[in-house]
A and B are shown apart, each in its own frame.
Chain A
Amino acid sequence: MPERSTACRASGRHAALAAVVVALAGCGGPITGGELRRGVDTLGATAAEGRLVALGVAQDRTKTTFVRTAARDLADDAQHEAEKLTDAEAGPRTAGARDDAVALAQDIDSALGDLEVAPADRPGARDVARRLDALSKRADALAERL
């Protein structure tokens, strides 16, 4: 997957020009609260979508190949977000929240990884859905702090 947040990739139809503008404007410096919040929002959305995929398995209303591929894509998104946040320079005000966000991303990645490994395991999927629901709420709570 290219280096880009899910939300940005998803909604950026005209990303090429935007990328040029951002590059010209210059990037860098410590991560701001707003940027961190966008990352956490992306993580929350990833967890929420993963929960829907897991519920499909738990209710036996889906297809195994679909679940495995969808879970893998979402886990990649979470992992990518974790890497991005880990690499970001954080100031004293955002360092704690950044670390929390990295941990959140890793937990989401882990839950989705379990779904990817066992896409037909209904009790396991029920557990993954519960974990992802809790992680989505954790993302909301973290976003509110920012």
Chain B
Amino acid sequence: MKKIFQIALGIIAAIGGYVDIGDVVFNTQAGAIFGYRLLWAIPVGLLGIMVFAEMSGRVAAIAKKANFELITEHYGRRLSLLTLVASLVLTFFTLAAELGGVGLVLTLFFDGPEQTFMLIGAVAIAAAAWFLSFDAIERVFGYGGLLLLVFVAAVIHQGPDWGAIGGGFVPEGDNALLYWYFAVGLIAAAFMPYEIYFYSSGAREEGWTEKDLGINRANAIVGYGLGGLLAVALLITATQVFQPEGVDPSHLSTVALGAQASFGETGLLLALAGLLFAIGGAAIDTCFSAAYNLAQHQGWEWGKSAGRPRRWTATWLALFAGGYAVVATGIDPIELTEYAVVLSVVALPLTYLPILLVAGNREVMGEHANGPVARVLGWAYFGVICVLTVAAPVLLVATNGGGG
């Protein structure tokens, strides 16, 4: 049982990337529009984030450095400041969207004014972040988010065409730019920078050492694997339920309908509860990530395990308040994540390069430096990240923001 709880960090970090408010809708749309044909994109991103998460946790355990400490050390003042600003803006707007998402799910549960539920949701999540220990946060929101496994059960319940699903994992070409737009989006979802900031800082919060390298591997493989599995399940459910009906998913409620189709009200409630924990976890994930980054860049004391250091704590509380103020304006949270993703493009390569450099450095990592497999995969995926950085804005313009 103790071992099961040790992969909570990987699960909550992966949930922040794979099943946050923007991605649950995006994955569902991909299935509703293209059926199984885009399934291959999910494992492509998944393997990449597993490689980088493992490296990042290993660096945290051996070099005792979190991601933004590496960035501050490896880049000059201007470049590290640029990375900080890009990451802060990205995480702040994503946080705002997640807080709005919590309010939307509460509205689906209880009905009533969205703004009221957004306030209640923001206060509840901030209270959880304040009162719960780091371990408890990981476990409550990480394992609560796994209620979304109801979508895996829904896939099986629908009696899927396993041959067609298998075929979806084989990449195929397509002339439609919209297809590639979705493919790039599904791969990029795995690499959202705040996932890795949270993961590496979380490893430091938990005080990982050399003896925790096995736990790190388990987190990278099982934790992120579960995140990828949820993304696959959402896409398949959408193919089974929405594509034949001609539904174009655009609301959180649409996503939940996929589970209701198989298990009625029970499925619906499990899906909504899973969304509540997943999106709430993503809110804490993004909020803490932004506070970690600022503190690590400025050299402040940081982390819940450090006993609520004043400046770090004030930063994340201010971020929560600011995030709520943004959604209180009435902006659509799902649309807000779309805006935020644009900013992640700048931060992507700048976030991942220092991990690769330090993890491969024998002077720092000694015998735990990258071996040949990690080195080859790491550089190959860094190439993929660079391609995503260029391709995402080009496809964005070419497809009119995915509108076709």
Contacts and interface: CB of A to CB of B under 8 A. Distances in A.
Interface of A: 1-2, 4-19, 21-22, 38, 41-42, 44-45, 48-49, 51-53, 56, 59, 61-66, 68-70, 73-74, 77, 136, 140
Contacts of A5: 403
Contact of A65 (B109, B241, B331): B109
Interface centre among B251, B264, B395 (most CB of A within 10 A): B251
Interface residues of B, number: 54
B383 interface: no
A51 B245 contact: yes
Nearest to B111: A65
A14 B246 contact: no
Given A11-B29, A11-B403, A52-B245, A65 B110 contact: yes
A13 B372 CA distance: 36
Interface string B392-403: 110111011111
Q: Which of B256, B334, B339, B401 is the most central at the interface, judged by chain A CB atoms within 10 Å of its CB?
A: B401
Given A53-B257, A63-B265, A17 B397 contact: yes
Contact of B107 (A18, A69, A77): A69
Contacts of A70: 108, 251, 253-254, 257
Contact of A7 (B22, B250, B334, B339): B250
A15 B339 contact: yes
Nearest to A18: B401
B171 interface: no
Contacts of B257: 49, 52-53, 56, 70
Given A18-B396, A18-B401, 8 more contacts: A6-B250, A11-B33, A12-B338, A13-B185, A14-B395, A17-B397, A66-B108, A68-B111
A15 B250 contact: no
Nearest to B248: A45
B268 interface: yes
B403 A61 contact: no
Contacts of B272: 66
B111 A69 contact: yes
Interface of B: 22, 25-26, 29, 33, 107-111, 178, 181-182, 185, 241-242, 245-251, 253-254, 256-257, 260-261, 264-265, 268-269, 272, 331-332, 334-335, 337-339, 341-342, 392-393, 395-397, 399-404
B260 A9 contact: no
A44 B247 CA distance: 8
Nearest to B341: A13
Contacts of A4: 335
A9 B332 contact: yes
A16 to B, nearest CB: 4
Contacts of B247: 45, 48-49, 52
Contacts of B26: 11, 13
A78 B312 CA distance: 45
* A8, A11, A49 interface centre (most CB from chain B within 10 Å): A11
A14 B401 contact: yes
Given A12-B401, A14-B402, A63 B392 contact: no
B236 to A, nearest CB: 17
A9 B335 contact: yes
A21 B394 CA distance: 11
A48 B257 CA distance: 12
Of B33, B247, B256, most buried by chain A (CB within 10 Å of CB) is B247
Given A9-B335, A11-B402, A73-B253, A16 B342 contact: yes
Nearest to A38: B404
Contacts of B29: 10-11
A61 B246 contact: no
A59 B256 CA distance: 17
Nearest to B178: A11
25 contacts: A4-B335, A6-B250, A10-B29, A10-B248, A10-B402, A11-B181, A11-B404, A12-B401, A13-B341, A13-B396, A14-B392, A14-B393, A15-B401, A16-B338, A16-B342, A17-B342, A17-B401, A18-B401, A49-B247, A49-B254, A52-B247, A62-B268, A69-B107, A70-B253, A140-B246
Contact of A17 (B185, B246, B393): B393
A6 B395 CA distance: 19
Contacts of A6: 248, 250
B329 to A, nearest CB: 11
B205 to A, nearest CB: 31
A56 B260 contact: yes
B109 to A, nearest CB: 6
Contacts of A45: 246-248
B248 A7 contact: yes
A48 B33 CA distance: 14
Contacts of A8: 400-403
A62 B265 CA distance: 4
A45 B399 CA distance: 20
A4 B402 CA distance: 12
A41 to B, nearest CB: 8
